[in-house]
Structure 1
Amino acid sequence: MGERDPAADRPRRVAFVVTRSDSVGGVQVCIHGLAVGLRAAGHEVEVFAGGDGPFAELCERDGVRVTRLRHMLREIDPLRDPRGLAELHRELQRFRPELISSHSTKAGWFARAVARQLGVANVYTAHGWAFGWQRGAKATIARGMEIVTAPLADCIITVSEHDRRKALDAGVGRPLQVLTVHNAVTELEPASAFRADPGKQPARIVSVARLEAPKEPLLLLDALGDLAERSPALDWELELIGDGPLRPAIEARLAQARGWGNRVHLLGTRDDVPQRLAQAQLFVLCSRHEGFPISNLEAMRAGLPVISSEVGGVDEAIDRGVNGELVPPGDRRAWTRVLGELLADPAARTRMGSAGRTAFETRFNFELHLRRTWSVYHQALERHLDRLG
């Protein structure tokens, strides 16, 4: 993937469109970083997000303008979706962008249609494909919508090679149109203040994830419960950072735990995640499907080893036995075994954490991501002009 310095090009008006503003997940972290980075490089940026919430507040705190879309909903709604499409058209027409960058499924469908109506270059970033994890009619509809709307995009970014292959195999996009730009995270300053000591005992495990599907916090608890029964002398604690509809079920499971429930701490949504990671010794992500999760990269930035479900493009960042371990999705016994091995081996945690930090510095830091993304944006602008020409 090529690189291009956004500060070297003339200022452009760039619109970012996303379905949800009520949470700050991987999609929102990506948009926030790009918006702040392009604004710092001299470009005019505005974010158009469905609803209100912490993401809109985060962007505005860092000087990025936000338009809140009242009718942009996550789920398909035949009654409100026409209003959502009209609202997005109206607001983008007001802003008069030269490039529209859309993220998340629903926003991607709407933004590509509006971009073609307005005659504006556009890039769609797929943070995973809905047709890859949904079943039945929903999967068929999602795949069909992606096939239909793909030609409306000048470029399509996938966050992993896994997702690029999945798109092309499904008939979504063309090989030269679909490009991979791996997710990345920003370095924190001073870096030493946010570095973990993974070899420290007893080990603190941290998971940062919204408590809802496709994440599987209950499977993680089951595996740790098995480990507590099998190896009662092994000392550990778990911090679950994030909130969501699975919280009551987690609380009920902990109430039933025999002798280990008090080792698990539900911290809810936090604004000090880097500090919590710096106090941890091991990071885990238990999930049924992912694109290219930013939470794993944040752990690597902190110098933590990562145990993650082997889904999506996770293995493009986590190298088994080098900077972490990969577990087959849904495999409770494998989770118990791998957790036990790393919790009992501080030297391995230290070695893997160091390798993860090196991978972050050389492959997944945000400055590289910004230049690579801007290179794709520049290609989209050129292709759009060629199409008009």
Structure 2
Amino acid sequence: MSTILVTATVPVHIERFHLPLLRRLSGAGWEVHVASRADLVDESIAKSHVVPWTRSPFSFGNIRAYRQLKSLLDREHFDVVYCHTPVGGAITRLAARDARKRGTKVVYMAHGFHFYRGAPLVNWLVYYPAEKILSHLTDDLLVINGEDFDRASKKFPTNVVMTRGVGIDFHSFEGEVTRAMRTQLRESIGLQVDRPMVLAVGELNKNKNHELLIRAWATGPGDGIDADLVVAGTGGLCEHLEALAADLGVADRVHFLGYRTDIPDLVSVADLLVSSSRREGLPQNVVEAMAAGTPVLASPIRGHFDLITHGTTGFLTQGFTPEEWALALRTILSDPDRLSRVGSAGRVSARKYRLPEAMQPVFAILDSLKPSAA
């Protein structure tokens, strides 16, 4: 039986994004092992290995993780190693150098490089040379957006493959939404039913840039944007953002829901989803909104460019100022018919990111690396 090791620093990454692929690999005759910071249990996983690495590339704890992972690779003799996350991918590829000489194939999926157009200089000084060196230790480098593909295919000495990411299970986002369902959910979170609902989904951190949205809500004529901004997610900036909304006088229109298990329902009843991120690879929240037929307004960055054609399958702002976002929000929300047309076109465009369509090329690459297929 062919064996594959799938690695990522945190188990939730594997649980959230890769279990369907692992189940398909197991069904195709692979013995699937995983390595992460905690134990993982699934019918597809033959063995779970706990590796004590951290997400920080500068942590000395990762030296121990490297040694432990190298010992595992030397002991088990995997046919393929499939790695994820920046630190997990780096340590795995370094630890697999000897195993690769013995015939193990190493595949890395980059879920959005930390160096990108407009990235801070420190990102380019640290992550770009590291990834270029590590590409020498990689048989197949899988990327998920056009900017990363263009740069990696020109600069890195490895086989670079453009993919559509890990795919989205569309079933939760394709159901019909009735007016009664819309009214009930909006009332349950304290919204005015007749006021537009704008949804932001994601961790409350600097990259997701919720502060820009809150400042946009307070910008412009009158009291700012006459719509409800609903923020679903948790994170270290929660108290800061709540205080900012109060200071700017928009706390009555900015609603922090915290952690939610009903994201598909929230997405389906929203009039618009917003993504103000500074950096994305191929954002799942945007694909999910498009799958539901909910139009999207997003920042002008890599990942968003891959998903959205402005004015046709979604909307892109011109920059990152509150004034630009406030103008875009007013213009978009004032034209319900256009919102409906764009939402419908986005739903059609997003179909290529459905789980079966997106997973198939990744599965084909990994399955082709079976020793019997060589």
TM class by shorter chain equals 0.7 to 0.9
Aligned to 2:143: 158
Aligned to 1:3: none
AA at the equivalent of 2:243: A
Asked if 1:141 is matched to 2:141, the reply is no
Question: For the Cα contact (< 8 Å) 1:204–1:238, is it kept in 2?
Answer: yes
Structure 2 CA distance for partners of 1:334 and 1:134, relative to 1, 3 Å? closer
Structure 2 CA distance for partners of 1:194 and 1:46, relative to 1, 3 Å? farther
Q: With structure 1 as the length reference, what TM-score do the two structures score? A: 0.82
Q: What are the within-5 Å matches in structure 2 for residues 242-281 of structure 1?
A: 242-258=233-249, 260-281=250-271
AA at the equivalent of 2:60: L
Shift of 1:303: 1.0
AA at the equivalent of 1:244: G
The secondary structure found in structure 1 opposite 2:170 is coil
Asked if 1:372 is matched to 2:357, the reply is no
Structure 2 CA distance for partners of 1:303 and 1:31, relative to 1, 3 Å? same
Map Cα deviations across residues 202-254 of structure 1 (whole Å, 9 max, x no partner). Answer: 3211111111131100001111121573666x3x2122111111112101112
Shift of 1:302: 1.1
Deviates more, 1:86-95 or 1:242-251: 86-95
Aligned to 1:30: 17
AA at the equivalent of 1:142: Y
User: What is the alpha-carbon distance in structure 2 between the residues aligned to residue 162 and residue 349 of structure 1?
Assistant: 28
Aligned to 2:69: 88
* Equivalent in 95, 112, 121 of residue 128 of structure 1: 112
Asked if 1:188 is matched to 2:143, the reply is no
Deviates more, 1:222-231 or 1:297-306: 222-231
Q: Percent identity?
A: 23
Structure 2 CA distance for partners of 1:254 and 1:135, relative to 1, 3 Å? closer
Asked if 1:46 is matched to 2:33, the reply is yes
Aligned to 2:188: none
Map Cα deviations across residues 311-333 of structure 1 (whole Å, 9 max, x no partner). Answer: 11311211100121011342322
Map Cα deviations across residues 108-166 of structure 1 (whole Å, 9 max, x no partner). Answer: 11111233322321111111112336544553232221111101111000101111113
Structure 2 CA distance for partners of 1:95 and 1:251, relative to 1, 3 Å? farther
Structure 2 CA distance for partners of 1:296 and 1:190, relative to 1, 3 Å? closer
AA at the equivalent of 1:277: V
The secondary structure found in structure 2 opposite 1:262 is coil
Shift of 1:385: 8.8
Question: For the Cα contact (< 8 Å) 1:14–1:98, is it kept in 2?
Answer: yes
- RMSD across aligned C-alpha pairs, in angstroms? 3.0
Name which structure has the greater RCO, CA cutoff 8 Å, separation 6+. Answer: 1
The secondary structure found in structure 1 opposite 2:218 is helix
Question: For the Cα contact (< 8 Å) 2:217–2:224, is it kept in 1?
Answer: no
Shift of 1:168: 3.8
Question: For the Cα contact (< 8 Å) 2:69–2:95, is it kept in 1?
Answer: yes
Shift of 1:87: 2.0
Q: With structure 2 as the length reference, what TM-score do the two structures score? A: 0.85
* Equivalent in 305, 317, 322 of residue 315 of structure 1: 305
Question: For the Cα contact (< 8 Å) 2:135–2:157, is it kept in 1?
Answer: yes
User: What is the alpha-carbon distance in structure 2 between the residues aligned to residue 374 and residue 293 of structure 1?
Assistant: 21
Question: For the Cα contact (< 8 Å) 1:201–1:346, is it kept in 2?
Answer: no
* Equivalent in 225, 230, 233 of residue 239 of structure 1: 230
AA at the equivalent of 1:371: Q
Aligned to 2:86: 105
Question: For the Cα contact (< 8 Å) 1:130–1:142, is it kept in 2?
Answer: yes
* Matched pairs, number: 358
Structure 1 unaligned spans of 5+: 1-10
The secondary structure found in structure 2 opposite 1:108 is helix
Aligned to 1:205: 198
AA at the equivalent of 1:304: T
Structure 2 CA distance for partners of 1:349 and 1:33, relative to 1, 3 Å? farther
Question: For the Cα contact (< 8 Å) 2:143–2:149, is it kept in 1?
Answer: yes
* Equivalent in 69, 73, 81 of residue 54 of structure 2: 73
Structure 2 CA distance for partners of 1:212 and 1:67, relative to 1, 3 Å? farther
User: What is the alpha-carbon distance in structure 1 between the residues aligned to residue 358 and residue 326 of structure 2?
Assistant: 35
AA at the equivalent of 1:140: L
The secondary structure found in structure 2 opposite 1:214 is coil
Structure 2 CA distance for partners of 1:285 and 1:269, relative to 1, 3 Å? same
Structure 2 unaligned spans of 5+: 183-192
Aligned to 1:5: none
* Equivalent in 15, 21, 29 of residue 5 of structure 2: 15
User: What is the alpha-carbon distance in structure 2 between the residues aligned to residue 328 and residue 65 of structure 1?
Assistant: 49
Aligned to 2:187: none
User: What is the alpha-carbon distance in structure 1 between the residues aligned to residue 329 and residue 289 of structure 2?
Assistant: 16
Aligned to 2:97: 116
Aligned to 1:8: none
Structure 2 CA distance for partners of 1:42 and 1:180, relative to 1, 3 Å? same
Map Cα deviations across residues 145-202 of structure 1 (whole Å, 9 max, x no partner). Answer: 1111101111000101111113245x2334xx1111022311216832579999x953
